[in-house]
Amino acid sequence: MNQGDYLTYRKASSISLIGLVLQLLITLVVFIYSKYANDYAAAGAARFLATGLIAWGLLLLVFDLHRRERIEAMETEQLAVSGASAASAFDSVGDNLRVASRRLAFVYKWIMPAGGIIIGAINIWIGTGRLRAVTADAEFIERYQQIHVGWALAIGIGMAVVGFVFARFVSGMGKIPAWSNLRAGSAISVAAALVGILLAVGGFLDLSLGINTVQVWNLFLIPIGMIAFGIEIGLNLLLDVYRPRKPGEVPRPSFDSRFLGLLAAPDRIAENVGEAVNYQFGIDVTSSWFYQLLSKWIMVFVVAGVGVGWLMTSLVVVEPHERGLIITNGVVSSPLHSFGESGEGDIGPGLHIKLPWPFSKYETPVVKLKRGQTELRTTTGVRVLQLASNPPTPGRGPILWTENHSGTELLNIVQPDAAEDGSTDQSSSVAQLSLLAIEVPVQYVIRNVKLFDEFAAPGQREQMLLQLGRRVVTQYLGELSISDVLANHRISMPVELKSRLEKAYGELNDGQGTGIEILFVGINGVHPPTKVAPSFERVIIAKQNRESLIEDAKKTQITTLAEIAGSVELASEINDKLITLVDLRREVGRDAAQYIEAELEVQRLIEKTGGEAGEMILSASANRWVRHMSERGRASLLQGQQEAYLAAPSLYQSNMYFDALLEAMKEARVYLTPADLASLKVRLELQDKQVGTQVFDAEAGAELQ
């Protein structure tokens, strides 16, 4: 083991402490800036830099233990030289006095690997979580914008300068064998410098050109860098397990990134690569014949590879869902040779050969269509424009008018409803308008790539189609009333809108059109603003109640007419005849034969219906006939009695008298006594007749029940 004295390790401890302080300051500055500016990328960078504090702390611990171990070794040597070791008390406890050495070995065996595992796990965990959060929210990326780009530029430049200068200084110290572990610290400082460069470049482009592309990239680059750093730490640990070690060799920390170490010393890339290879294999690989041959012809291989790569730029492979253009010196041209489809000015799926870059290039106007967590880059695929409000988030279920359909709703102006007489309210001098939220999705495909590429600049085509389409939708909706949009014209609106959009898009590009074909225009989610939705619901509820009452009245009408006249049709016919009968009575009178005949006809019609009215008439007719025949019988009986009286008056009177007496004495007890009876005493046995029944006769007593 190459060991220095304790002063050497004290110097390394001091540098480690300085690195720890600088790392802490940089981490705090980035963390405070991320909170102040609400910068999501800087917040992730602060967590990445915070893991560097663990690395610097471990280096400070290792070098301090090295210093203590050197002091302990010096004291042991002095003790041995003084002769005190000759005493029996010191013969067997020499190794027990090397406490710092055992602690150093323990740190190298357990603490350093554990620290590397912690640093790697934190970076992978945080990087994966932040990358998943960014990719899961597409709207977050679209609205992401730093609000303090000046601070980002200043902090980034400061971090880049301080981090790179300190990394170069520490990397130079790492050349000394006793300070070799400082190379891990230089890698941590280079990582801080790279974070500063990303922040500075993003802020510079935003301030100078108004481009926030790098700022959006930082949302992905920083988490990806954290994940890569954590994976490299894991690989270093795995390789160190199987790497052969030389006796007395100082173990290399797992968080000593080889890639970041190359950036810390770019002038020693070849030497660093050789050292890394020798360290991993445990032998001097750079002295082998294969390595010497490879290093001799490496430039030839690089030039040949670059040449082959340059020639491959002349090959264009167009995927099945794409079409594109070949631009040669700024002019649309045909391919040198085509193994696939080739149209008028554009090329289709297949292999095509063109001039190599930069003389000729292939362009295709693509759009990214998100499907779940994947993205499809397509030219001929179906694209969608939302010409009004955005659709609601999928999976929300039914949405009422009183709820927001999307995060931001666009309200369109429509005409108010006309009054029942067809006029509008002109009492106010202010124009009467109504507002509605509506979703107008338009699906289209690109049929002519050349026209689509020519009608607007890249990145502006979809925006122009969107703005022009929204203008057409606004003009069309302004011509309709609120009832037309909500109900009356829902079927005809998509057809009319499609016709108007095709006409508007066809006028672009000097009348040649945009090269697109509109497949579908929809009208979805039409609703009033959420604040006035309850008023609409009350009107609808009132209309529903009105219709319900009308239906109940019709039900009652049908039921009543069916009960009275048998059916609604017969009731209507009878009603018409009754009206005619009333008019006839007014004309000819009640006693006219014509009126009587008409009345009898109505009566016969009512009797044939089978309803309650017919039943009442038939019942009254039957009662009249029974009464008539009864009175007629009584009249005939009276006439017969009169004839019998005239024939024999005395006999008739006697018969009538005895019949009346017989009727009166019926069921009565009669006692006959002589006229000269002086004293009459009658004993009566007041018992009812037939008081008992025959118990053996089943029919006995039936008359009593």
Amino acid at 575: N
Last residue of a domain, one of 281, 304, 329: 281
What confidence tens digit (pLDDT) does each residue in 171-225 have? 888 888 888 889 899 999 999 999 999 988 888 888 777 777 888 888 889 999 9
Q: Assign residue 57 a region (left: φ > 0; alpha: ψ between -120 and 50; beta: otherwise).
A: alpha
Are 576 and 598 contacting, i.e. CB atoms less than 8 angstroms apart? no
**Other residues' Cβ atoms within 10 Å of the Cβ of residue 20:** 20
Q: Are strands 331-333 and 325-328 parallel, antiparallel or unpaired?
A: antiparallel
Q: Say yes or no: 507 and 591 in one domain.
A: no
Are 22 and 162 contacting, i.e. CB atoms less than 8 angstroms apart? yes
Q: Say yes or no: 231 and 206 in one domain.
A: yes
Q: Say yes or no: 140 and 106 in one domain.
A: yes
Q: Say yes or no: 520 and 564 in one domain.
A: no
Full-model pTM: 0.45
Residue 342: phi and psi, rounded to 5, are -140, 120
Q: Say yes or no: 355 and 489 in one domain.
A: no
Tally of domains within the chain? 4
The better pLDDT of the pair 645, 90 is held by 645
In a domain, 702, yes or no: no
189 CB contacts (<8 Å, ≥6 apart)?
19, 22, 23, 163, 164, 166, 167, 170, 264
Both structure tokens of 276: 């890394």
DSSP single-letter state for residue 487: I
What confidence tens digit (pLDDT) does each residue in 427-484 have? 544 457 788 888 888 988 887 777 777 777 766 788 888 888 889 988 888 888 888 8
Are 586 and 597 contacting, i.e. CB atoms less than 8 angstroms apart? no
The better pLDDT of the pair 671, 36 is held by 36
Q: Say yes or no: 564 and 465 in one domain.
A: no
Q: What is the CATH classification number for the domain harbouring 411?
A: 3.30.479.30
SS3 call for 184 = helix
Burial of 171 (0-12, 13-18, 19+ CB in 10 A): buried
Q: Say yes or no: 526 and 551 in one domain.
A: no
The range of the structural domain enclosing residue 341 comes to: 315-363
Q: Say yes or no: 458 and 352 in one domain.
A: no
Helices (H), 137-181: 138-143, 149-173
What confidence tens digit (pLDDT) does each residue in 34-59 have? 888 888 889 999 999 999 999 999 99
Distances in whole angstroms, Cα of residue 109 to Cα of each of 106, 197, 236, 289, 339: 5, 36, 15, 36, 62
Q: Say yes or no: 62 and 198 in one domain.
A: yes
- Output the pLDDT for position 429: 45
In a domain, 648, yes or no: no
Q: Say yes or no: 507 and 388 in one domain.
A: yes
What is the per-residue burial (b if ≥16 Cβ within 10 Å, else e) of 300-338?
eeeeeeeeeeeeebbebebeeebbbbbbeeeeeebbeeb
In a domain, 227, yes or no: yes
| The most confident of 128-142, 335-349, 542-556, by mean pLDDT | 542-556
598 vs 603: CA distance, rounded Å: 9
Q: Say yes or no: 214 and 340 in one domain.
A: no
